Amino acid sequence: MRSMLLARNGALASLCYTICKEWAHPMDTKNYINIDASKRNSHVYRYIKLHRLYQLFAERENVLVLPSMWEDPFENFILKAKTRDRDGTVHEFGFRDRLYGQCWTTESRSDAMWRIYSQKADHGRFDGVRVRTTVKRLAESLTARMTFGDVKHAFIGRVEYLPDTKLFESASKIFAKGLTPRTVASTLLVKRNAFRHEKEVRLVYRKLFGDPAQEGKLRYKVDPHDLVDQIILDPRVNPAEIKAMKNEIAARTGFKGEVKWSLLYKAPKSFIFQVSI
């Protein structure tokens, strides 16, 4: 009975998601920042813990968070600062804690990303996976249930990495053309050069109305089977455990797409060099 109810609830959620997509107001060019139209169908990746993958498929929710929850203290530094208007009055950005984001990357093969986001769990197995989607699919997952007014505050953009001196110079000019939804979102799309290995693309949303998101986490409904098109296992997983992990993922998510093992650390085949003596 429980499995029947779960299947029925899943079918209803999928139907609702499809209907909402038909009514949704899609993003236009203004909602893409630092991303050319030709790149909107390009792949982006997110390295996550295995239990987060299961949570995504079970709860059918994607989660954006306040930048204060990210480790880099420079995150959201522009909106944390104060401004001075023409008459010299100093102001703070009252909405700085209503801006939420989620980080993805264009880097498909990265030793650093695996080591940062995937560690060996208590049972001795590396517990990270890499999920894949496209820029457009990710962006439209956020706006699928939004009104036109809300879509104006939803963005996806490529992060620019700058030296510290240029970072502050860029920050000082970011509102030169006015305080608009786009310029506000752009404040989360600049980082220091020390993080350029991340090659980030960020999903950004400013929640203007209603109560702030609980615990700094803004959740929105999503069909994970529509969003995710591939899952990759950590390259450090023991080859003997790969089949069991694939079966576990299939059983717990119902995912029908590709589930593969990363070959990042696979040793090259032996070969012979020609040497002139």
Which amino acid, residue 54?
A: Y
Question: What is the length of the chain?
Answer: 277
Q: Which of 199, 203, 181 is nearest to 191 (CA)?
A: 199
Q: Could you tell me the two tokens for 188?
A: 């989360």
pTM confidence score: 0.85
Burial classification of residue 205, based on how many CB atoms lie within 10 Å of its CB (0-12 exposed, 13-18 middle, 19 or more buried): buried
| SS3 label, residue 159 | coil
Closest CA to 206 of 64, 41, 25: 64
Q: What is the pLDDT of residue 23?
A: 40
Q: What is the DSSP letter of 265?
A: T
pLDDT of residue 226: 97
CB 199 within 8 Å of CB 105 = yes
Identify the three-state secondary structure at position 213: coil
Regions in the chain scoring below 70 on pLDDT: 1-26
pLDDT at residue 269, as a whole number? 81
Model pLDDT, residue 25: 55
**50-59 vs 242-253: helix axis angle to the nearest 10?**
20
* Confidence (pLDDT) at 26: 63
